[in-house]
Every structure is written in C-alpha cells, then in structure tokens.
Amino acid sequence: MIVQEAFERFIMKKKLKNLALKTISNYICFVTPFINYVGGSLDVELLDTDLVLNYISTLYDRKLADASRATYMRHIKAFLRWMKDCYSIPVSLTEIELPKTPKKLVRILSDDDVRHLFDCVTCESEWLTMRNRAIIALMLGSGLRQNEVTTLQWKNIYISQNYAIVRGKGNKERCVPLGSIVSRFLEEYRRICPYENTFVFIGRRGAPITNNTIKKMVQKLKNMSGIDISSHGMRHNFATNYCIDSLETSGQCDAYTLQSLMGHENVKTTEKYMHYAKSMIASKNSRSHLDMVFGA
C-alpha cells in the first residue's frame, strides 16, 4: 500500500467514527503537506523515522509559532500511530517530540468586566441584542463552545430544571447548567424573536447561525468593550470561576464533575483549571511579607 491510499483509509476511518467535520478537516489540512513531502506514491514500508524527522525539520525552517508546529506534529503523529498499528511501519514515535509551548494564564473577567460586556452587546434590533446576550451568557455562564451554541436546539433546553443538553466534540451529548440569568436571557430572546426554528440561535433571515457569526460578534464586542475576550476564553472563565466558587464555598472542587460539565475527554485537561483557581485564591488571600515588615 502507498502512503496516499493509507491516508485516505485513515480519513475514512475517522469519518466512520463520526468525528466532527472540523476535526477531519484539520487532519487533512495538517497531514497533507507531510504526505506531499514524503510522496503520496511512497510504499508505507519505506516510511521511516529519518524521513519523518526530515519533514519536521522543515517546519522549523518556516516562520511558524511553536504552537503551530506542535499542531502539525500532533496530527502527523496521530496518523503515523494509526499506520504503525495497521501496517507496522518502521517509525519510532518516541523520537517525534513536540515543541514546548508557553502556558498562558487566561484572563479572568472581573464582575465589572462582565457587566461592561453585557452593556456593550447592542444591535440594530432588540431581538438580535437579546440573542447575542443569550449567546455570551451561555459561553460565560454554562461553558459552551461555539459549535455547541450554533447546534443547540430548543427541545434540549429545560429551564424549569436548570439545565440544557448540548452536543459536543465527537458528537457526544452532555448536560450543562443554566442558572437564572442565562434562563432569563433565553426566555426573553425566544419571546421577542420573530422566527420559529428548531435551533435556538438564528440569523436576521431566520436561518441557523454559524460559528463565523459568533466569531464576528465576539470580535465586535472585543473592540467595543476594550476587553480582550474570545469564545474559548469565556469558556475558560466558566471553568475557572466554577473552581473558585466551589473552593470558596465548600473548600473543595471535584475535577470529575467539572470534566463532565466541560465535556473533556481527559481529566488532566480539567485539572489545570483547579490549579489556576487555587493559585488565584492563594494570591488573593495571602499577605506580602514586606507588608508585615513595614506595617502596611
């Protein structure tokens, strides 16, 4: 079998696993340059470690951020791991080391920041303003991803029971909390929205909104408010504030409960929010030794 045929089979397997279209698109985007480099007509048995490392070295010759290089390498490594399992290719995966990327702390919005954000959410019509406020509320108050917002359906919202069912990565469903503020925005938006639709969030002409709609809306809000926000950043805020509220209320936080709310595959992804929340609480409650020395 040649490399191109193996890659097409790899993509087919991903589709049969019902992975998100974006995930499949990313595999095609980040692995195709590698296949072009080694040659799609190359026999899989001739694909060795040196050839792979030679390609990776070309990534360092390009003006790419370490995070971008890591993204290329992560997708290539997944493809090679699959080929190793299926065709026993002579490639040592341990020699493919991803570059270390700097870990940035997510900005946690203050209460004043949050109020200011909602004040800045304005559109030419009242129903669009309320729609956008409901979207921001779901990302900040319930931790939804962009795609989870665009695919949310009215039949899966249970306001009286304080939860909604969303469809996340891998087409997996999970329950998320709503809260009274999120529920209020949703109810008011539905009351004044001029269209009926299966999906919750729709555009000016009555069709469901897209991820790009949310991107543009968040960018506009960022410019208007002067606050550095993003869709994923608001999701990070939800997770970190969940941990902070739990720790300050009960002194403990369950990573597995948060993992369920966030829809994370691995609890290690969730644990970083707990570490961040603990460091924030420790910093807030600690007194500088210099303050004690100088009696401040």
For 18-31, how does the pLDDT look when each residue is reduced to its tens digit (9 = 90+)?
A: 887 888 999 999 99
Distance, in Å, from the CA atom of 98 to the CA atom of 106, rounded to the nearest integer, reads 22
Section 41-57 average pLDDT: 94
Would you say 141 and 183 are in contact if contact means Cβ atoms under 8 Å apart?
no
Query: At 198, is the secondary structure helix, strand, or coil?
Result: coil
Q: Which pLDDT value is given to residue 296?
A: 64
> Please, are residues 169 and 263 in contact by the beta-carbon 8 Å criterion?
yes
Find all residues with CB under 8 Å of 97, minimum gap 6, and list them: none
Task: Report the amino acid identity of residue 294.
Answer: F
What is the Cα gyration radius of the chain? Answer: 23
Measure the CA angle with vertex 275, ends 162 and 279; round to 5°. Answer: 105
Confidence (pTM): 0.78
Give yes or no for residue 151 having a pLDDT over 80: yes
The pLDDT of 113-127, averaged and rounded, is: 94
Q: Which residues pair with 199 in a beta bridge?
A: 153
Structure tokens that stand for 89 in this block: 């290719």
Give the model confidence (pLDDT) of 222-277 as tens digits. Answer: 999 999 999 999 999 999 999 999 998 888 888 899 999 998 888 888 888 888 88
